[in-house]
């Protein structure tokens, strides 16, 4: 079985957001797969996807703090690509560092994430808008 869907994640403020349940809800076919793989890809260059802590929300705020220090908008004057503001090029850099996709095993109709793992939408823009994801399920 192969299923591929494009789903829209509603606009979120800048930061790191758990979207595991939004993805699972959008692909009910997941429950029919005994063993397989889910691949989730974001169709944007200023937001990213990763897997990390799903329980303590301070992990998400600390991730935002870290990336804002590592790729600071205070240094926006160093970049040429700032047409859309100081968060423009810095968002592209953060997205390149974190990545545009995640792959997760599917086991017995569900995403086989660890107990404390969840899928993050990493919104790097101040006003990023809705985000489009491609979810591909492959399995039996």
Where does 1-140 show beta strands of DSSP type E? 2-9, 15-18, 35-42, 47-53, 101-107, 110-111, 117-123, 131-139
Q: What is the mean pLDDT of residues 8-25?
A: 98
Percent share of the chain, pLDDT over 90: 99
Q: How far apart are CA 140 and CA 123, in angstroms?
A: 33
pLDDT of residue 4: 98
Q: What does pTM read for this prediction? A: 0.97
The predicted structure's pLDDT at residue 44: 98
* Per-residue confidence band for 75, with pLDDT thresholds at 50, 70 and 90: very high
For residue 60, name the pLDDT band (cuts at 50, 70, 90).
very high
Average confidence (pLDDT) over 94-121? 98
Structural domains in the chain, sorted by start: 2-139 (2.60.120.460)
- Distance from chain centroid for Cα 5: 16
């Amino acid at each position: 079985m192969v299923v591929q869907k494009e789903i829209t994640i509603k606009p979120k403020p800048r930061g790191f957001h758990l979207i595991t349940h939004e993805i699972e809800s959008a692909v009910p076919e997941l429950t029919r797969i005994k063993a397989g793989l889910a691949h989730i890809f974001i169709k944007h260059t200023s937001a990213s996807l990763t897997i990390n802590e799903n329980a303590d929300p301070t992990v998400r705020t600390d991730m935002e703090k870290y990336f804002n220090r590592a790729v600071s908008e205070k240094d926006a004057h160093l970049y040429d690509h700032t047409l859309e503001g100081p968060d423009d090029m810095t968002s592209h850099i953060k997205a390149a560092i974190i990545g545009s996709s995640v792959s997760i095993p599917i086991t017995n109709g569900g995403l086989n994430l660890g107990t404390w793992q969840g899928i993050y939408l990493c919104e790097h823009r101040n006003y990023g808008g809705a985000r489009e994801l491609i979810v591909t399920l492959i399995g039996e």
